[in-house]
Amino acid sequence: MLMVSEEVREALTAGRPVVALESTIIAHGLPRPRNLQVALELEDAVRQEGAVPATVAVLDGRPHVGLGKEQVERVANEDGIRKLGHRDLPLAVATGASGATTVSATALLAAQAGIRVFATGGLGGVHREWTVTQDESADLGLLARTRITVVCAGVKSILDVPATLQRLETLGVAVAGYGTARFPGFYLSDSGHPVDWTLESPDEVAAVMRAQDTLDGPGSALIVANPVPEDRQLDPALHARVLADALHACEEAGVSGQAVTPFLLDHLVRHTDGASLEANLAAVRGNVRLAGRIAAAWAQA
Ligand code: PSU
Ligand code: MN
């Protein structure tokens, strides 16, 4: 049922590096037409690091790992592309729907295809107001059950960051800062919260992955939290101001469920004159490149 592209299948069989990429950021996280350019650029960046990109999406009810150019175009431009978390996969498959995969659905499909390294922008997590809405991204629960390394710039700053870090601890998901002892803040290099572990090189990350396998504990993820370079981050004062506005607007508009994340991200883009988009892209680019290097170190191991 899983459609693994020929290029990805060959690379996996030969033990060459592969990096999974999610598609929700393309379909629902970035404005058109920039989203298509970015999708292709990210695939290119993976290739420049010597790895094969495997963008994940569901098209006409078929889960794909590794997309051709026309398929990437569909994800970026087609109206009615849904947002699919892992719980949505059987529904999309059985009804023949098309959709972009979130971190949870991407991690699941990538792991099933035998891919160990995955790059994204920011993970989903615990939303502010959790006590009222119980809105916690399914990303966290799935990563507690899936042996995959996720390179991200932390969790989106629209979330409750300390609550998300606590949930990751409770769920037993390993978290390490890459070259930093601070948990990155997605648009910002530093969320203001520390991490317990710091890894300094792709080889070190690969060694942790090997240790996960050797110890053979619960099949959980390794989160490599890679900060956006400081000179590329969103101005922290602007970030604080616009984020407060965005959260307020979201409440006013009565947005809930799956629509919350895209609503907030879009609000930030429009009210920072695109600066949040640039910081977002800088973060994702950095993550994709690092993931390529980690995949290469892992393939050599
Ligand atoms: N980070 C971004 N843009 C996004 C997302 C993350 O910069 O669009 C997506 C990811 O796919 C993540 C999802 O898995 O949002 C989380 O959505 P939710 O909170 O509905 O679980
Ligand atoms: Mn949610």
Answer yes or no: same fold for 1-115 and 123-301: yes
pLDDT, residue 261, reads 86
Q: Which atom of ligand 1 is nearest to the CA of 102?
A: 11
* Protein residue closest via CA to atom 1 of ligand 1: 122
pLDDT of 61 > 90? The answer is: yes
pLDDT of 301 > 90? The answer is: no
Domain borders along the chain are 1-115, 123-301
Q: Give the helix ranges, DSSP H, for the chain.
A: 6-13, 24, 34-48, 69-77, 89-95, 103-113, 130-133, 138-143, 161-171, 202-215, 236-252, 260-271, 275-300
**Pocket lining: 101 vs ligand 1, CB cutoff 6 Å:** no
**Pocket lining: 24 vs ligand 1, CB cutoff 6 Å:** yes
Q: Is 15 left (phi over 0), alpha (psi -120 to 50) or beta?
A: left
What percent of the chain shows pLDDT beyond 70?
100
Q: What are 137-191's pLDDT values in tens digits?
A: 999 999 999 999 999 999 988 899 999 999 999 999 999 999 999 999 999 999 9
The CATH number given to 1-115 is: 3.40.1790.10
pLDDT of 1 > 90? The answer is: no
pTM, entire model: 0.95
The CATH number given to 123-301 is: 3.40.1790.10
Ligand 2: centre distance to CA 172 (Å): 20
Return d(Cα 101, Cα 86) in angstroms, integer.
Answer: 8
Smallest Cα–Cα separation from 57: which of 12, 87, 20, 94?
20
From 22, 23, 24, mutation site for ligand 1 pocket: most ligand atoms within 8 A of C-beta = 24
Q: What are 189-225's pLDDT values in tens digits?
A: 999 999 999 999 999 999 999 999 999 999 999 999 9
